[in-house]
Structure 1
Amino acid sequence: MFERNIYDQYGFHCDERWQLGSYEGFDAGGHSYLVTPYSRQEDSMLIQFEWAKQLHNAGVAEIAQPVNTVGGGSVAKIDGAQQLVFMLPQLDERRAGEFLTEGGQLAHIHDVSHGWVPNVPDLNYLGQWLDIWERRMGQVESWHQQVDARRQKNDFDREFLYTFPYYLGRAETAMQWLVEEGREPLLQSYDGSINHTRFSNQSWFATNERTTQVKLPLEFVYDHPARDLGERLRAEYREGRFEDGYSFISEYQNGRTLSQGTWSLIGARLLLPLTYIETIENHYMNEGTHAENRSADITNFERELAQEERYLRYTAQCLMEHLPSTTAGSWFTRRNFA
């Protein structure tokens, strides 16, 4: 069915099928293609495709390019689902110039896409952090009240009730920092660039030994560059890779200087207990549908809590280095992490 759909919709004869993580791929006519789910409104998707073309024209290497169907459409029914097909970059597309490092390439993306404001709201996150954080923490607080009122509580409930006050304080500190130090309310529409939904060391993927930083346009959003940098550092610190985070920032700053304002926004993102929020959301939003996973949920929760000291120690170390006057006397720099 897959091969037939590909031929009918795109005119390609599949020479070979393969798997890349959760994605299906295939080779045809000397090119490699990736099949991905269709997850956004069409107007948003078309803007992401236009961004991909503009970035490619600006010299950004290894961007997967969308492929239209034989009828000129963007979406096709493949294996019973609406999906997209992207052509992966060829081996010789990689530039041998100054942007070979991952941090350098990200700096180049942020630089050339500065001010590319989308005309659809669901791709534009610039200036929206405070509203989003308040809304998500409000939901977590609502769950806390509901769980506290329960007669019967399981292990996850008890751990949630015990840890919530600390994480609420963390979130409030992050939001205060965002407004007072990051000055998010003062950001202008042109202060943003192309970012990723959640940038980590796995956002760009390898298809072979030479194309190792392939970028998928469906990950593109518009926001302040601090989004990508903060989320990359969060991912590194949570995995205990402080030096990798330091190296990445050094690579980035070889191509683009970071201002104190940007570091303040990065600091706000790092202080926000996002992994904790997501753990609580995932559990209570699905509480009635996955009772059999309660044991796994509490195990994951305990793992998250165990990583917290190291994560906050790395965050404090980073912010004390880059924002020494701002962090002086802050509670997270005074804490004993022994």
Structure 2
Amino acid sequence: MFERNIYDQYGFHCDERWHLGAYEGFESEGHSYIVTPYPRKEDSVLTQFEWARQLERAGIIDVAMPVQTMDGKVIAKIDGAQQLIFRLPQDDPSRNEQPQQPEAFQLAQIHEVSRGWMPNVKDLNFLGNWLHIWETRMSQLENWHQQVDARRQKNDFDRQFLYTFPYYLGRAETAMQWLVEEGQEHLLQPYDGSINHTRFTPTSWFAASPTTTQVKLPLQFVYDHPARDLGERLRSIYRQGDGEEAYRFIEDYYGAQFRGGNNVHWPLIGARLLLPLSYVEVVEDHYMNEGTNAENRSLEAVNFEEELAAEEKYLRLTSECLLEHLPSSTAGAWFTRRIFV
């Protein structure tokens, strides 16, 4: 069925099928393709596709390019589901002779060339919306806190949540205060944004061949301030406990000779790092799915306790590394104005 669907709608013969992480892929006449689920927001997908083409024209390497069906559609029914197909960059042996550009350097390139590419699609535009999003999520946690506190019977997860929430609410409020007072998010202009990723982590870019090791998938693209990508990548590094890698990442980003590398708004990054995002996600996942996983409550309580320990370790390392490694040009003394460890 898979091969028939591909041939009928794209005209491709599947010479070989394989898996790349969570994606199914295939070879056809020397080209590699991956199949991804359709996110059911066609206007957003079309904008992301256009961004991919613009990035490729601007010289950004290793962008997975969207493929249309033979009748010009971007969506196709494959194996009974609505799906998309992307062509992966071809292996280029000549690049073996060239030094690999660091991840942060390529990120700075993307931020620079895409500056001001503000979309008409609201779902993709996060510039200037952090405060509203954070307030909404913390308000939901406050509602759960009140509901759980009123319960007659509480499990281990409930008790840990009730005990820890006031502290993490305080951290979130401090992050939001910094966002307004120091980051001045409300003063950001449309041209301050660039193409970012929904959540930039070590797995956002993936290897498709020995020479194409940082493939960018357009479905992750959103429009926001570069501090989004930098903050989330630093978060993942600090969560791993590697202060030296964080230092190298910052140096590589600043080493890129682009305005994007010199236009970083460190108060925005600091506010994002201070937001207890991992804690929020654990609580959201538990209470949004509470009725479906009753048998796993004990395990969730243990995982929550481990998450709390990891979050505190992350915060200590974050504060130490930012104070030690922020480039002098950023005037990062604001980070010491409040004690939170």
Partner of 1:207: 208
**1:109 corresponds to 2:117:** no
Distance in 2, matches of 1:107 and 1:205, equals: 18
TM-score, scaled to structure 1: 0.94
Residue 182 (str. 1) matches residue 183 (str. 2): yes
CA contact (8 A) 2:3 2:13 kept: yes
Which SS does the other structure have where 2:70 is aligned? coil
Q: Does 1:289 align with 2:292?
A: yes
User: Which one is further off, 296-305 or 55-64?
Assistant: 296-305
Contact 1:99–1:108 (CA under 8 A) maintained in structure 2: no
Deviation by residue 1:63-116 (Cα, 9 ceiling, x = unmatched):
000011111100000111100000000012986778711110000000000000
Distance 2:20 2:188 in 1: 38
Match for 2:135: what amino acid?
E
Structure 1 199/261 Cα, relative in aligned 2: closer, same or farther at 3 Å?
closer
Q: Which moved more, 1:253-262 or 1:72-81?
A: 253-262
Seen in structure 2, the aligned counterparts of structure 1 residues 238 and 219 have a Cα distance that, compared at 3 Å, is same
Please tell me whether the aligned partners of residues 178 and 265 of structure 1 are also in contact (alpha carbons under 8 angstroms). Answer: yes
Question: 5+ residue gaps in structure 1?
Answer: none
Q: TM-score, normalised by structure 2?
A: 0.94
Matches within 5 A, 1:1-338: 1-92=1-92, 100-255=101-256, 256=258, 262-321=265-324, 322=326, 323-332=331-340, 335=341
> Secondary structure, in 3 states, of the residue corresponding to 1:33?
strand
- Runs of 4+ with deviation above 3 angstroms: 93-99, 256-261
Counterpart-to-counterpart distance in 1, 2:273 and 2:94: 32
- Identity score, percent: 67
Distance 1:298 1:94, change over 3 A: farther
Q: Deviation at 1:325?
A: 2.3
- Asked whether the equivalents of residues 267 and 332 of structure 2 are also in contact (C-alpha less than 8 Å), the reply is no
Aligned-pair CA distance for 1:296: 3.1
What is the alpha-carbon distance in structure 1 between the residues aligned to residue 203 and residue 84 of structure 2? 21
Unaligned runs of 5+ in 2: none
Amino acid at match of 1:146: Q
Report the residue type matching 1:276 in the other structure: Y
Aligned with 1:91: secondary structure? coil
Letter in 1 for 2:311: E
Q: Which amino acid aligns with 1:35?
A: V
1: CA distance, partners of 2:185 / 2:262:
14
**1:154 Cα offset (Å):** 0.4
Equivalents in 2 of 1:197, 1:80: separation in Å? 27
Count of residue pairs the alignment pairs up: 333
Contact 2:104 2:253 in 1 (8 A): yes
Contact preservation (8 Å) 1:182, 1:261: no
